[in-house]
Chains A and B, each alone.
Chain A
Amino acid sequence: MEQTLILTGAQAAAEAARLSRVQVIAAYPITPQSKIPETLSAYVERGVLQAQFVRVESEHSAMGVCIAASIAGARAFTATSANGLAYMHEQLHWAAGSRLPIVMPVANRGVAAPWTILNDCQDTISQRDTGWMQIYCMNNQEALDLVVVAFKAAEQLLIPCMVCFDGFLLSHTFMPVSMLGQEDVDSYLPPYVPFHTLDADNPVNINPVITSDPIADPDGVMSPGYMGIRFRLQKSLEEALPVLRQAGREFGEIFGRSYEDPLFRYRTEDADFVFVAMGALAGEASEAADALREKGVKAGVLGVRVYRPFPAAELYEALCGRRVAAVIEKAISYGYEGALSSEIKASFYAKSGPAPAITNYIVSLGGKDVAAADLIQVATESIAAAKSGTVSDRARWLGFE
């Protein structure tokens, strides 16, 4: 039995990187991510971790180093938040387009302007369409476990993965975390075998200019064009969920905590009303669900642990036949509604099962406190709107003034 430590989310993510034996780390400091590179710097300097730590001058370069290092055959790792992630945006497309299994914890923080250092999920949701997998953690245990799971799945799929956890709420909050044994992690996560090995006698040109139409190579074999390459990424992402499930199940077999289910489910078996949330908010919602149950409302919670690839079928199954679902989000697609809300609604399209009434709440942007009492209010409003047939097609902003 491994010991239980009291760790912040940032420390847990750093421990996961150490246990995963990352070989190249590149990072640039940003609140609330900073403790991750600080912890790993010390590990590298003390020789606890055999890795190259590249103390880059920007997040753009952090991801640039990881991409090149991963191409050259090293397990690569970085971490960031908010504007740092936004600054990486171009490189995120490069990492996914290059099919590199880079794993990156993101301590979620609101994106300027105006400046906020506090938590919401706009930073990662804004990077939804870069071709990365995205996993959201509910607590610090998951911040530890899911970084390791992410490496396992990413290296099988050759798709990079963000492991997202709420800034401050998790990154700076101490919680008990069951540690993983190094030997167990080693048996779970074998050394990184790159898709391509540097070979001086067989040089290759990686990520060159590509045409829109397929072209024959010198041997006459047709090679894909740009769309062909990009379709392969999409196809792999469409097929990624079983691989993530398998990685989560195998993790459970060794460590006793299974992440086979892409959804966190709390008291949903008989629920009429379901909160749908991501990250630590699902924990907050669980507290509200308990309180609602005491008032006689059959409430439950679905936490979207794996957001990309999107578990549309699982969400459909989980919500089908419920009366009301309130999708509470710490991010918005400006000019419309929360992205998760839109996607859940879409998962019911062209399906025969009865959809719940779906309300959408934007909460806690820039660290605005959201308490269980607020979520109870969300449930009450949503149930009333469903009963009276007055569910709004607009997202409601909670407590913005």
Chain B
Amino acid sequence: MAWIRIEKKQIKGKLMSGQTALLDSPEQEYILPGNRLCAGCGVTIAYRFILKALGKKTVVCVPASCLTILHGIYPKTPVMATTVNNTFAGTGAAASGISAALKATGREDWHVLAMAGDGGTFDMGIQSLSGAAERGENIIYVCYDNEAYMNTGSQRSSATPVGAVTTTTPINPKEQPKKDFMKIMEAHSLPYMAAVSSSYPGDVYNKFLKAREIKGTRFFHLSAPCPTGWWYPTKDTVKIGKMMVEACIFPLYEVEEDRVSLTGKSLSIARSGGKKPIDDYIAMQGRFKKILPEQVREFQRLVDKRWEALLARAGY
């Protein structure tokens, strides 16, 4: 298909050689052109390469979320992967059930991919995810994080950062900092965890290639900027996602058996410096229009603290 070739050429122009296996990714597209998500949505960028990495023998479990919208309205779907929609709180359980059935019927060559939002993971889905992770279910669970209940109209979640206005913190921006969910998942002693951003699809693709070869519960925290809820121009999604990584608000890394490895841009910041302050990132988004100066300081303090801890664990 012509449009794929054009796009691939564009990617080639932007990437440094040897940086990623992205250019070797299959031409097969699992998300067809045209879906119902908002213009500028970060989720689609990453999801495209997640499905390329896992291939066609993948069952996707999706709770109520923006991804439900991407998957389309019956009887049409733009996604070429078998998908099971499940209850809002039940993604971990649904993925466990698919995995159990595949095992019981001798079809363990399939991948089970759970894709839930931050509301369906940090808040409502935490119980079934924790249960699945503790049991070591053979699933890949992705929390795509757009930092609020975006599908229902941008209500606050426990992934919403301090200082953000949402439709349920409309007058006073959110007072509490974002929950450190990777820390919670680390407590489950998983064989593989990774933080990825939709602005770095090569990093996403590489990590999923790696994860697919590992057995057990694999957890991804995927940062997916949201122009609709964060109030920035739709053309800036990739830029905003990169700013999050450059300011070390959302570092890219892997955790394997307690071993932390920084990757991509975060690795180069660790090696060569260049960590940016959060101010420009904050200033670019309407959701932070009411953030208080002390909240900016608190935000920066938490970013620094977490980054320093990651650096120490990664050996820098």
Decide if A67 touches B86 in the complex (CB within 8 Å): yes
B92 at the interface (CB under 8 A from A): yes
Q: Which of A57, A74, A200, A208 has the most CB of B within 10 A?
A: A208
CA distance A69 to B99 in the complex (A): 8
Tell whether A208 pairs with B97 under 8 Å between CB atoms, given A61-B127, A198-B110. no
CA distance A56 to B131 in the complex (A): 6
Interface of B is mostly: mixed
Would you give the 0/1 interface string for B90-130, flagging 1 where the beta carbon is closer than 8 Å to chain A? 10111111101111110100100000000000000001101
Decide if A24 touches B101 in the complex (CB within 8 Å): yes
A26 at the interface (CB under 8 A from B): yes
Interface-facing stretch out of A123-131, A215-223, A345-353, A372-380: A215-223
Chain A residues with CB under 8 A of B98? 68-69, 71-72
Tell whether A54 pairs with B107 under 8 Å between CB atoms, given A72-B101, A205-B71. no
Nearest chain B CB to A243's CB is how many angstroms away?
Answer: 25
Nearest chain B CB to A85's CB is how many angstroms away?
Answer: 16
Decide if A61 touches B128 in the complex (CB within 8 Å): yes
Chain B residues with CB under 8 A of A203? 56, 79-83
Tell whether A54 pairs with B135 under 8 Å between CB atoms, given A60-B90, A61-B90, A200-B57. yes
Nearest chain A CB to B101's CB is how many angstroms away?
Answer: 4
CB contact between B93 and one of A51, A64, A76 (< 8 Å): that residue: A64
Decide if A56 touches B85 in the complex (CB within 8 Å): no
CB contact between B131 and one of A57, A198, A201, A209 (< 8 Å): that residue: A57
Chain B residues with CB under 8 A of A26? 93, 96-97, 100
Chain A residues with CB under 8 A of B79? 203, 205
Q: For residues 33 through 65 of chain B, which have their beta carbon under 8 Å from a beta carbon of chain A?
A: 56-57, 59, 61
A331 at the interface (CB under 8 A from B): no
B68 at the interface (CB under 8 A from A): yes
Decide if B127 touches A94 in the complex (CB within 8 Å): no
A178 at the interface (CB under 8 A from B): no
CB contact between B105 and one of A74, A210, A211, A223 (< 8 Å): that residue: A74
Tell whether A217 pairs with B75 under 8 Å between CB atoms, given A54-B96, A91-B87. yes
Nearest chain B CB to A44's CB is how many angstroms away?
Answer: 11
Decide if A91 touches B90 in the complex (CB within 8 Å): yes
Decide if A68 touches B94 in the complex (CB within 8 Å): yes
Q: Chain A residue with minimal CB distance to B69?
A: A209
Nearest chain B CB to A60's CB is how many angstroms away?
Answer: 6
CB contact between A64 and one of B80, B97, B103 (< 8 Å): that residue: B97
A66 at the interface (CB under 8 A from B): yes
Chain B residues with CB under 8 A of A65? 93-94, 96-97, 100
CA distance A217 to B97 in the complex (A): 29
Decide if A208 touches B68 in the complex (CB within 8 Å): yes
B14 at the interface (CB under 8 A from A): no
CA distance A223 to B74 in the complex (A): 8
- Starting from the known contacts A24-B104, A69-B104, A208-B73, 19 additional A-B residue pairs (CB-CB under 8 Å) come to A26-B93, A52-B101, A54-B97, A58-B128, A64-B87, A68-B98, A69-B97, A72-B59, A72-B84, A72-B98, A74-B100, A198-B59, A204-B82, A205-B71, A205-B74, A205-B79, A205-B83, A208-B72, A209-B69
30 contacts between A and B (CB under 8 A): A24-B97, A50-B104, A54-B100, A58-B128, A58-B131, A61-B92, A64-B86, A64-B94, A65-B94, A66-B97, A68-B61, A68-B86, A68-B101, A69-B104, A74-B101, A91-B87, A91-B90, A200-B110, A204-B82, A204-B83, A205-B72, A205-B77, A206-B84, A207-B84, A208-B83, A209-B69, A209-B72, A209-B73, A211-B74, A215-B75
Q: Which residues of A contact B (CB under 8 A)?
A: 23-24, 26, 50-52, 54-58, 60-62, 64-74, 76, 90-91, 94, 198-201, 203-211, 215-218, 223
5 smallest A-B Cβ distances: which pairs? A68-B97, A64-B93, A57-B131, A72-B101, A61-B93
Q: Which residues of B contact A (CB under 8 A)?
A: 56-57, 59, 61, 68-69, 71-77, 79-87, 89-90, 92-98, 100-105, 107, 110, 127-128, 130-131, 134-135
